[in-house]
Structure 1
């Protein structure tokens, strides 16, 4: 494949002005674990962080049919959590010491699921995003900080809910055009980049990441990381980048990326991103202990009460396991909020979210 050295594939279609410096790409391609610092090392992180969340899948409907994903259900099978369900889950999470309400659903689920659209209309909503706003209000009422991850979003859709979220997110996954995104409703890298850009324009603290092992090559990984870095340098809004291996499941039977592949990719992420942006590996999907020396400083959100609904075959580790991982690295484990400390001010968060942050931090007795 011939690569354009200047423009990310698909970016022009969505008017995303992101270019890749070929020299930077080559620099990242030469990076290995020996070129970065791990926890406790000179120049490395002095602690490992994690967030305690409750996972709330508003619906499993999605307009996409990515071949590696088990999250979506086909039309006729997908359901929608009721406001009462949302409140019950939030209360259970708050009682368990969680600080984050992680809201997920597939991209524009009311776009092709008539039953979802009809249910939303019955509850007084004309879109899933207005319903997400109600769900975020419920979370705040129950003392949790919303972190919504609703896939690709237009500026109007994100603005509908941004003021009620402590942070938001979407996985870039890759800038490559892959067979794994096949079908009449293809996931477009340019649209993902546009969503990350929109978050920056709206001043939303943001989480994104790449998937490893869905058919991309090493240059794709480097370009994806550099695209994220470029958008962050413009807006200063990316708080963490997840390096996530694709995991075998009922729809995806290929081998996961090797440990060597993950080690090199994590090191590339650390070397390609600004120091202020955390590098996260999900401890239920990756061999975290074997990746720490590659520049990992965050273990992501884990839940003591709900499953990982995106990866239901892979259970969250217990808090004791996270402490053991940090002990092995020789650094303390620290619990964080879904919004990183540097964004906790009125320039980034609404008064309502700031009030909940204040309440959560003043009552935190976890001691982690």
Structure 2
């Protein structure tokens, strides 16, 4: 792996990744009390609710400008007789994205080293949320075997050993203490100093779903702004800090950027996990940012500084995808990305 030196310091624009989301399945053997994405195991084929190849192709062609294909899946337990079919579907969708000229980014829970290496041949980057450490997370994940801290850390280490550009993050506002947040950030900083593969850390506010949906109030924003600033001081400077823009009041977004956020993540037409929180359009984001003196710039799922970590075939795919992405970049505040 080509390591990204922690001595690297650069000034970045505010980036985002035009994205299209494919969901192989919502079946998941974890049971996180806050999750509105999961379909519980019920004896059926875990892929029964998944996408066929024609459905996936149709979704890709509806968003031709989306260079990132996010493969977001529920989890089949290791050792299950259904695990092989589930993983084969992830691999098939990655290949499909590749043949369509895109770069997939898979977030499908913990993977074996062989599974991760196989997906790494087609994925520009991969991801897994750390979520956090401390008693608040232990309580939330009591019925979620793959959310155990040792399992998550093992995955982050494994991605580092394989040299895969990786995204992780924290779920904030579930009852954790400030000390828990700082300890989690220190842990991620240690991993980055050892392996150099963490391209971005998501600082994701937990928000209630459905009828309880509510944007962050001023007190909650102030609390999270302090965590963003702490993350920027704790994490090595090359690590990008990401905030999902639909979970933060749009007009208050510049305050988060001033605190240290420099990336808004993959943006599809909707958020398949936080469905009660509509995505702002790229045009809306660009206008709010421009008023505060920031430029919104599209990117691939793999950030520029991590491209050289990729196999040569993947680097060539990234160049092709980037050429199409930049050709679609609008002038002014116009956007071809509805």
Band of TM-score, shorter chain: 0.7 to 0.9
Instruction: Give the TM-score normalised by the residue count of structure 1.
Output: 0.78
- Counterpart pick for 2:169 among 190, 209, 229: 209
In structure 2, the CA distance between the partners of 1:294 and 1:73, relative to structure 1 (3 Å rule), is same
| Counterpart in the other structure of 2:336 | none
* 2:279 aligned with 1:316: yes
| Superimposed CA distance per residue, residues 289-341 of structure 1 (whole angstroms, 9 cap, x where no aligned partner) | 3312211111111124xx21111111111011110232133122111110011
Deviation at 1:51, TM superposition (A): 0.7
| Counterpart in the other structure of 2:257 | 292
Residues 194-205 of structure 1 correspond to what in structure 2 (within 5 A)? 194-205=154-165
Matched-pair contact (CA < 8 Å) for 2:74–2:108: yes
| Counterpart in the other structure of 2:31 | 65
* 2:200 aligned with 1:237: no
* 2:316 aligned with 1:339: no
Deviation at 1:181, TM superposition (A): 1.3
For 1:336 and 1:235, the matched residues in 2 are separated by 23
Query: Unmatched 5+ residue regions in structure 1?
Result: 1-42, 121-125
Matched-pair contact (CA < 8 Å) for 2:10–2:238: no
| Counterpart in the other structure of 2:6 | none
For 2:75 and 2:143, the matched residues in 1 are separated by 15
In structure 2, the CA distance between the partners of 1:337 and 1:109, relative to structure 1 (3 Å rule), is same
| Superimposed CA distance per residue, residues 40-88 of structure 1 (whole angstroms, 9 cap, x where no aligned partner) | xxx9945211110001111101111111111101124862222222222
* 2:72 aligned with 1:104: yes
Matched-pair contact (CA < 8 Å) for 1:45–1:297: no
Give me the CA root mean square deviation.
Answer: 2.4
Query: Unmatched 5+ residue regions in structure 2?
Result: 1-8, 331-338
Deviation at 1:254, TM superposition (A): 10
For 1:321 and 1:111, the matched residues in 2 are separated by 46
- Counterpart pick for 2:142 among 158, 182, 188: 182
- Counterpart pick for 2:50 among 63, 80, 85: 80
* 2:287 aligned with 1:327: no
Deviation at 1:265, TM superposition (A): 1.1
Residues 31-180 of structure 1 correspond to what in structure 2 (within 5 A)? 45-76=11-42, 79-94=49-64, 97-108=65-76, 117=82, 126-177=84-135, 178-180=138-140
Instruction: Give the TM-score normalised by the residue count of structure 2.
Output: 0.85
Q: Which runs of 4+ in 1 moved over 4 A?
A: 43-46, 109-112, 250-257
For 2:127 and 2:54, the matched residues in 1 are separated by 25
Q: Give the secondary structure class of the aligned counterpart of 1:365.
A: helix
Matched-pair contact (CA < 8 Å) for 1:99–1:145: yes
Q: Give the secondary structure class of the aligned counterpart of 1:314.
A: coil
Matched-pair contact (CA < 8 Å) for 1:270–1:295: yes
Matched-pair contact (CA < 8 Å) for 1:130–1:160: no
| Counterpart in the other structure of 1:353 | 314
For 1:297 and 1:186, the matched residues in 2 are separated by 30
In structure 2, the CA distance between the partners of 1:308 and 1:111, relative to structure 1 (3 Å rule), is farther
For 1:46 and 1:175, the matched residues in 2 are separated by 30
Instruction: Tell me how many residue pairs correspond in the alignment.
Output: 310
